[in-house]
Amino acid sequence: MVDCASAPGLDTVLDDCFQLVSLFFLTIGRNQEAPAVYSAVSTVKRLLDHLKEAAFYSTKDLDGISNQLRQYENSVERGRADHDANLITLLEARIQICRTLLAELRQALSHLSAEDTGTYETLVSILRSLSACNTRSKYPASEVKAFEDQLKEIQAGLQDVVAPVGDRSAEEQYADKLREMKLDENHVPEGKKLVLDLLARCLLWVQIVREKQGKIDERFQETYEKLREIRNQLDNKIITQAWSMRETDLYSFQRQLDRIDESRVDGNFVDANGKPADLHAQRTLLYLLRKSYANIYHLIIASEPVSEALLPIYNQLQTLKRCLLEVKNSGGLNSIDNMRKDGKFMVGDEIPEGQGSVSELLSQCFELAYELRTAAEDQQSDTDDEVDTPGEEANTPVEEMERKDHDGLELR
């Protein structure tokens, strides 16, 4: 047996192999089998590490991950008899590491009251949105201002006032808050302090983002652009996932992100001379790294247990289901038709352009609905005639049960 510790890089190669095999299992629709779990659990581990490092997250983040880990545990348990014992041991160990991290993150939020939890999660959402604004190709000044106004409203609703400290820069004060909020298993902060510290971070981050206006330390421009490109590509894959993505496509993204993450020194992004980036660059790069891993995680858990060969049919059915649900949820065509006044679609007291096109499209929809209803009635009539035909044997109880099950089948 080869000792990974004595063979530099071998553990990385083995991890790459496990990742690729795991993604392959997802691609062929065998999502519920133990090998498929490896890639997901590895991504969860990265995500939890980054949440801990970022020092802000919501209970919803943790609940979602916890539920997924429970599913992975079930998959591993089911595969115990069918897969190598070493693989099962490896997966169980990785899941346990994630469980330990998850418990540590939960503990840090354990003193939040119900009221504080709502405020805290709003602040988490705002800070993430500000971080997203910070990575836009064009600095969105109006959005940043809107978030700042929202933060001031929250501050006004709290009894305590978050005030700047002396003449120190926003980055220095932000670094102080990060140190204060660093997780410590021996000390769990009070809920109110947790909220106030995060509010202070949000207000300071607004100042930092406004000063930088989307520009980053030029020493890290290349890494920044690379991470932005990966993040953007993964965002696009989430939008077009059902039609254009194979799970194995994620492999190259994972490898690039892993290499960037592993190149950090003591958690810091460093330049060619080993000098760490400033706080703005550190937090910006960490956000892009975390967001990219979060996108990969989203794509993995959204993967359907359907073979690639059946995906075109599955996707067509999914699209059809979404269309039918949309019609159902919107109240159907009649509700749209009832929106007309004197045969026209009104917006306030105005009659917008395009009345003819909209009315024609509505008419076509009514015609299609009528054709579908007529076809369904004809089919039912034919079925009734066949059942009533003398001399034909009636369905057996089993056949009748199967027919009913089929008729009631839901498009999943």
- Per-residue pLDDT reduced to its tens digit, 170-211: 888 888 888 877 766 666 778 888 999 999 999 999 999 999
pLDDT at 268 (0 to 100): 92
- Provide the pLDDT confidence category of residue 29 given band limits of 50, 70 and 90: confident
| Other C-beta atoms lying within 10 Å of the C-beta of residue 393 | 6
pLDDT, average across residues 115-136 = 93
What are the beta bridge partners of residue 345? Answer: 340
| Other C-beta atoms lying within 10 Å of the C-beta of residue 368 | 11
Whether pLDDT at 131 is above 90: yes
Q: Which residue has the higher pLDDT, 344 or 406?
A: 344
- Per-residue pLDDT reduced to its tens digit, 309-335: 777 787 788 777 777 776 666 556 777
Whether pLDDT at 346 is above 90: no
pLDDT at 245 (0 to 100): 66
Whether pLDDT at 256 is above 70: yes
Q: What tokens appear for 210 in the block?
A: 């406004």
Whether pLDDT at 4 is above 60: no
267-to-68, 260, 306 alpha-carbon distances in Å: 27, 11, 39
SS3 268: strand
- The percentage of residues in the chain with a pLDDT greater than 70, rounded to a whole number, is 84
Q: What is the dihedral of CA 287, 292, 293, 295, to 10 degrees?
A: 120
Q: Which residue has the higher pLDDT, 411 or 148?
A: 148
SS3 7: coil
Whether pLDDT at 341 is above 90: no
Nearest-angstrom CA–CA distance, 70 and 65: 9
Nearest-angstrom CA–CA distance, 44 and 301: 11
Whether pLDDT at 28 is above 50: yes
pLDDT at 72 (0 to 100): 94
Q: What tokens appear for 152 in the block?
A: 């001031």
Q: Among residues 191, 212, 227, which one has the least CA distance to residue 111?
A: 191
Whether pLDDT at 9 is above 50: yes
Q: Is the Cα torsion angle 273, 279, 283, 288 positive or negative in sign?
A: negative
Whether pLDDT at 395 is above 80: no
**Cβ–Cβ < 8 Å for 317, 84:** no
Q: What tokens appear for 204 in the block?
A: 């300071």
Q: Write down the residue that tokens 């496509």 correspond to.
A: 249
- Per-residue pLDDT reduced to its tens digit, 217-243: 999 999 999 999 999 999 888 877 655
- H/E stretch holding 411 reads none
Whether pLDDT at 338 is above 90: no
- Provide the pLDDT confidence category of residue 404 given band limits of 50, 70 and 90: very low
pLDDT averaged over every residue in the chain: 83
157-166, 218-227, 292-301: least confident range: 157-166
pLDDT, average across residues 116-142 = 93
